[in-house]
Structure 1
Amino acid sequence: MLIYILSSVFMYIMGLMSFCFKREHLLMMLLSLEFIVISLYFSMNVYMSYFNNEYYFLMVFLTMSVCEGALGLSLLVLMMRSFGNDFVQSFSLLW
Structure 2
Amino acid sequence: MLKYAFVCVVLSVASSPVHAQDAASGEKIFNQCRACHQVGETAKNTVGPVLNGLIGRKAASHDGYSYSTALKSSGLTWDKATFADYIKDPKAKVPGMPG
**TM-score category (smaller protein):** under 0.3
TM-score normalised by the chain length of structure 1: 0.24
TM-score normalised by the chain length of structure 2: 0.23
* Greater share of residues in helix: 1
Structure with more relative contact order (C-alpha pairs < 8 Å, separation 6 or more): 1
- Which entry has the higher C-alpha Rg, 1 or 2? 1
